[in-house]
Copies of this chain bind each other. A is one copy, B any other.
């Protein structure tokens, strides 16, 4: 038993594998959990430091400001989910959209801590940092739209409003981060599969 409060979950999350040194990574993970739990503005730098098992001043050894911690979490989170969405395979547009929705929705459940910061703390970023993640968000939308458009071109989807449907599909997946609870009955994979089914029903012809 230690005093950091991070033992249970930090090692299960591979998102931050590349962050070094170790103290900087622990600080990021602590910040992500604090931001996800009570929001960026309600979290103090003292909260973060004590979650990471260090003194309040230790935050500023590795990060210039509290906002820079947020930006790092938001950037890595956006990059991770974009990479996931970009690496979708499958035979035909139906299977690719199924895998895309299952993966993207499942990610928002499994990594709901990071996802909450990614989706609900955009407004706390500096204008420059916000612009940087906004570009990644544009790419995420393009990817999802392409998966739907492919099925329309193949003739296996019936979508009267491509932009609207893309918005709705992304919206559905993103909102998982809001309501998901690890103590709930459904696993992230089950949520992904269920959502993929619902989305395919939305776009199927007739």
Contact = CB atoms under 8 A, between A and B. Distances in A.
A39 B151 CA distance: 39
A134 interface: no
Nearest to A197: B160
Contact of A161 (B38, B165, B194): B194
A69 interface: no
Copies, count: 2
Contacts of A198: 164-165, 168, 202
A171 B175 contact: yes
A100 interface: no
A123 B38 contact: yes
Nearest to A167: B179
Contacts of A172: 168, 171-172, 175
A11 interface: no
A195 B175 contact: no
Contacts of A117: none
A27 interface: no
Contacts of A164: 186, 194, 198
A17 interface: no
7 contacts: A38-B123, A39-B123, A160-B197, A164-B198, A171-B179, A175-B178, A198-B202
